[in-house]
Homo-oligomer: A and B are copies of this chain.
């Protein structure tokens, strides 16, 4: 493998000095790009796209062809693990993902087991290897998984939810059952992420997309504790030394506790004041975020102004400031691609300017 031509992202995660603030975007390979829609259409279905290493590689690289982004992220779905557990993932038009066999029954929960990443999930590590080869050292490749709690939400609800009634009923009524699911999920996520690292992932991100729906107290017990288990398993196995990012959407009240898990970077959404986040987290972790994805609906010059505002609020980018620019959530399918150009350019240009002033 070639050495990395651009390691700005990895250096920022390690809080080492960087000449500018690196940027990548959650869901950067996605429906806002016409070329993504073309590949998706050729694949026939979303899962066909995910399970083909060649097509997954193709869409992973598409945003890098358009924009000088500082990292690539494996194109895959957040629900590959529960699918491999046998819950029967289906994507229905306009409705999002659904599981045919959601986990409600005590006997089903007792039988739940972590899938072998070398078995049914082999297409994911194959994709990682294919993408690493295709990247040829341009930028680092991020591997990822949903957090044990976030996976459990889909597994118990059977799909998206507005009130999380099924899983919260289990949480408040039968916490023992939920903890059994979470323990299996933590084991599965750890094995899955270690396998991604072995296949070539150079950083790992854990998406705790639904941590923010939990009550204080419940978050620590049912989400954070199991994310911590995953991180510990990474540190003692293949993932040792590979930087990790933990992002809890709606988790702004718990940043210190997230930082204490031993992750290298904490993702923040747009509700968080970046300066305050920096003050609360201190030098423990890098910070990733946090532009509102809807800011990309404005005119290109307004997008640039919003990007500069985020950079200003992160504070002086002295050595080790460790900021990775990102959105506070996945990019919207309605985003004009030219606004992504404006964003990446503004972040690169203005962050260089801030450093030259410092």
**Contacts from A to B (Cβ < 8 Å):** 163-165, 168-169, 171-173, 212, 214-219, 250, 252-253, 270-273, 276, 292-295, 297-299, 302, 306, 309, 313, 328, 332, 334
In the complex the two chains form, what is the Cα distance from A294 to B162 in whole Å? 12
Q: Closest residue of chain B to A164, judged by CB? A: B294
In the complex the two chains form, what is the Cα distance from A218 to B252 in whole Å? 16
Contact A271 B215 (CB under 8 A): yes
* 8 Å CB contact of A309 from B217, B292, B302: B217
Counting every copy of the chain, the complex holds 2
* 8 Å CB contact of A294 from B163, B252, B271, B332: B163
In the complex the two chains form, what is the Cα distance from A309 to B216 in whole Å? 11
Contact B216 A172 (CB under 8 A): no
Distance (whole angstroms) from the CB of A332 to the closest CB of chain B? 6
* 8 Å CB contact of A295 from B172, B216, B219: B172
Contact A163 B212 (CB under 8 A): no
In the complex the two chains form, what is the Cα distance from A270 to B293 in whole Å? 26
Contact A253 B250 (CB under 8 A): no
Contact A294 B216 (CB under 8 A): no
With A172-B295, A215-B292, A253-B272 known, 11 other A-B pairs at CB within 8 A are: A163-B293, A165-B334, A168-B295, A168-B297, A173-B302, A214-B270, A214-B271, A215-B295, A215-B328, A216-B273, A253-B253
Contact B253 A169 (CB under 8 A): no
Q: Which 3 A-B pairs have the closest CB atoms?
A: A168-B294, A172-B298, A215-B270
Contact B297 A172 (CB under 8 A): yes
Give me 14 A-to-B residue pairs in the complex whose CB atoms sit less than 8 angstroms apart, sorted by A's number: A165-B334, A168-B294, A168-B297, A171-B294, A172-B295, A172-B302, A172-B306, A173-B297, A214-B270, A216-B272, A219-B271, A253-B253, A253-B273, A253-B276
